[in-house]
Structure 1
């Protein structure tokens, strides 16, 4: 589930980054890199887990799937928080500068 969630987030953020000039100005590339990095990490984890468990890898446990889902959503949320902090620091549209004048 973590691989699936972060892969969807990576694809969505990449499409947004590619289609919108404003999105590129707002540093959505940071989100793309974060999500693709997480997807790659969990892909490698899945490959090694499959090599270890073989056919048991495909036996689904409800509790493990729920935990993996929460972990995947937590990673997506953490990347969004990091992106917002970067946006607040860089302030590309000078919004904070105009507010605190």
Structure 2
């Protein structure tokens, strides 16, 4: 399940990257590399686990499948957190910089309408 989860995340991320390929402002390529790397890691893990336990690999218990699915979701979430930290550090659109170094303008009181007495 971890392999399946990370492969789906990698495919979705790659499609998003490909649709926005010429402009790489959001650094989606970094996220793609992380997910494809995780997928490759889980593929190697699956090959070695199959070599160890043979046909039992294809009949996991429901609890093992659920644990593997949660692990896959955790890997995806960690990848998103790392990508978000990289994105905030690089700040391609200058949003963080403008928010941090913006001069604060004191608020002016609203003028009250003059009464016609």
Same fold (TM over 0.5): yes
Equivalent residue for 1:38?
38
CA–CA separation in structure 1 for the residues paired with 2:41 and 2:35: 10
Equivalent residue for 2:25?
25
CA–CA separation in structure 2 for the residues paired with 1:23 and 1:73: 28
The answer to whether 1:48 aligns with 2:48 is: yes
Do the aligned residues in 2 keep the contact of 1:16 with 1:23 (CA within 8 Å)?
no
Shift of 1:21: 4.4
Structure 2: where are the runs of 5+ without partners? 103-117
Report the structure number with the largest CA radius of gyration. 2
Alignment TM-score, normalising by the size of structure 2: 0.82
How many residue pairs get matched? 101
Equivalent residue for 2:109?
none
Determine helix, strand or coil for the equivalent of 1:24.
coil
Structure 1: where are the runs of 5+ without partners? none
Which structure shows the bigger proportion of residues in helix conformation?
1
CA–CA separation in structure 1 for the residues paired with 2:55 and 2:67: 21
Following TM superposition, where does structure 1 have runs of at least 4 consecutive aligned residues deviating by more than 4 angstroms? Answer: none
Shift of 1:97: 1.3
The answer to whether 1:62 aligns with 2:62 is: yes
Do the aligned residues in 2 keep the contact of 1:17 with 1:23 (CA within 8 Å)?
no
